[in-house]
Structure 1
């Protein structure tokens, strides 16, 4: 099977991706792993990507798309299939992926979209607090340190503050929705309710993927 997995930050995409890869024995292709491998192997595109990263710049789409295509051309993809995680991030990357898959003679079988109300994700992501002395991590709603606690003893990372979380979700929705719409026109999108227990989410994913095999 050749799959994409999509979902907003906090939707549990990483957890479900790991379960899919283990259960269905397909190659897990994440953006970070691809870049590290290309740079470590000193491929032409890997070295080019490194030059941008070392300069503190974003890697251009054409380089990213090329690294993805190199990975998809490797032998294990032919025998095992793949789960793409963290790519495509923009509609332009989605169009490039379509072309690269066509060039390689690979068909995409499905797009798993883990869907949760953004307001609930806001609560999930902005509730993390860290104890100033011990460094222990808690959650205001799901894992509070005690029934009553002194908020002055805890702090939040900048990324966890409500305004930062809201901006991150807005950016991801703006970038991700056109991609989902693009694949929906190809009848590839399978929406999964992410607002349930982790095992129940995966059970729903299993049902979908078992029907694709």
Structure 2
């Protein structure tokens, strides 16, 4: 970048680097921390934030009424994601904490504990290294609007807020059968989850406060506080029905927290469409490019444009296409790199189809600066492909294309003069399809995060599937310690 020239030209590689390393999210977190905490030494504060902070670390509020299964789900999440589980009970087990001792003194004197004190205790726990590096899950917290506001003022903001819900009568029945293993802290139930190990059964005890009257009182208090909590986190809350098997509830919660929240960072779609001939790549590329203003990059069309331009590269490509030989990969990647590294592709985004066709071509893309952030494979069986492609015919007079099954000629006169392109002969199509399926396995393995969509359905349905994956964030599997 030449600082002496105006307007400044920012190379696309800078944007790719910023997107790859999440610079926008890092700067957002650092600036937010400075404004919230207002440290006396901002530089030391930023160094500590950069050392410990993790933009992808899970920060979860798991809320819900009594007996909704918060403890069980939180423990399973803690084990699965390897993150600390924080609740009111384990906050008070920190013997070194002066704040925990103060809360215990309030409890011993049976005094109301200020919500600000709870918030400070939570903040103290979340500042430890395990929470800063790995993330955390707050079980049943915050449970009042005052605590929610206090946490927000302190800069304790979740990435996901999950609220379990179930009918009150179900919750009362659950609570009556609850039993706790005091050794491990595991929660069991006399009806739904009774342990098979006799040793564990002997250790189980009924916790305090599970009678029907006490449960009703806690439910009333929860329903009274819920509107205030919704006002604090309404837009980011995920409601999940807890009146179903615990494994199903956990699966839904885990799927939700694995989905990163929507980022405010600038996003330019870079879409790669792969699939066998006749799978509908060209049609889907045209639809997505038209709706979102992306650059539609078709490898075959680029060959024709290069040949028509009369350049040396075009003449070289023409020599291969006229002889029927495939264009070498080095020439193809050079042509694509020149087009896709223009500024319009970086600003508006692009959708590429017709390349790569095999694993070797896919390996050339990073060196050419071609980094797709959405990869789709349209899956269609060989029989359907033959049905789609081998019945094409052309009217030599009008230039209209017909299909024996989907778009037959209207009159017999037109039908009699239709011609079949040699490329549409069944033998030619079979050889292309067989080659694709022979190379497809290696190509699919080149893109670990590829999305597979059934192409044997209505084109608009396929487009809606593609669109949903383009506009929504994708799960970032590598950030979780699974």
Q: Same fold (TM over 0.5)?
A: yes
Instruction: Specify which of 444, 447, 454 is matched with residue 180 of structure 1.
Output: 444
> CA 1:92/1:160 → structure 2, altered by over 3 Å: closer, same or farther?
same
User: What displacement does 1:131 show?
Assistant: 7.3
Q: Which structure has the bigger radius of gyration? A: 2
> CA 1:37/1:154 → structure 2, altered by over 3 Å: closer, same or farther?
closer
Q: Unaligned stretches of 5+ in structure 1?
A: none
Instruction: Specify which of 92, 99, 115 is matched with residue 367 of structure 2.
Output: 99
Match of 1:171 in 2: 435
> Which stretch shows the higher mean deviation, 76-85 or 26-35?
26-35
- Alignment map for 1:24-63 (pairs within 5 Å): 24-35=292-303, 47-54=312-319, 56=323, 58-63=326-331
Contact 1:129–1:154 under 8 Å retained in 2: yes
Instruction: Specify which of 15, 19, 22 is matched with residue 290 of structure 2.
Output: 22
For 2:396 and 2:297, the matched residues in 1 are separated by: 37
Contact 1:6–1:114 under 8 Å retained in 2: yes
For 1:137 and 1:107, the matched residues in 2 are separated by: 36
Match of 2:377 in 1: 113
- Alignment map for 1:81-92 (pairs within 5 Å): 81-92=349-360
Instruction: Specify which of 182, 197, 202 is matched with residue 458 of structure 2.
Output: 197
For 1:40 and 1:129, the matched residues in 2 are separated by: 26
Contact 1:49–1:59 under 8 Å retained in 2: no
> CA 1:52/1:41 → structure 2, altered by over 3 Å: closer, same or farther?
closer
C-alpha distance after superposition, 1:103-143 (max 9, x if no partner):
xxx64211111111111111222233567999875433334
For 1:41 and 1:131, the matched residues in 2 are separated by: 28
User: What displacement does 1:54 show?
Assistant: 3.3
User: What displacement does 1:169 show?
Assistant: 0.9
SS of the aligned residue for 1:141 comes to: coil
Contact 2:272–2:352 under 8 Å retained in 1: yes
1:11 aligned onto 2:279? yes
Q: Which has the higher contact order (CA 8 A, sep 6+)?
A: 1
Match of 2:405 in 1: 141
> Which stretch shows the higher mean deviation, 115-124 or 129-138?
129-138
> Which stretch shows the higher mean deviation, 151-160 or 90-99?
151-160
TM-score (norm 1): 0.77
SS of the aligned residue for 2:332 comes to: helix
For 1:162 and 1:41, the matched residues in 2 are separated by: 33
For 1:123 and 1:52, the matched residues in 2 are separated by: 31
Contact 1:52–1:58 under 8 Å retained in 2: no
For 1:37 and 1:128, the matched residues in 2 are separated by: 25
> CA 1:132/1:63 → structure 2, altered by over 3 Å: closer, same or farther?
closer
Match of 2:111 in 1: none
Aligned Cα root-mean-square deviation (Å): 3.2
SS of the aligned residue for 1:123 comes to: helix
> CA 1:196/1:168 → structure 2, altered by over 3 Å: closer, same or farther?
same
C-alpha distance after superposition, 1:121-178 (max 9, x if no partner):
11222233567999875433334458x9xx9886643333322221121122223332
SS of the aligned residue for 1:79 comes to: helix
C-alpha distance after superposition, 1:163-197 (max 9, x if no partner):
222112112222333212211xx31x111121111
> CA 1:143/1:67 → structure 2, altered by over 3 Å: closer, same or farther?
closer
Contact 2:307–2:315 under 8 Å retained in 1: yes
For 1:197 and 1:12, the matched residues in 2 are separated by: 10
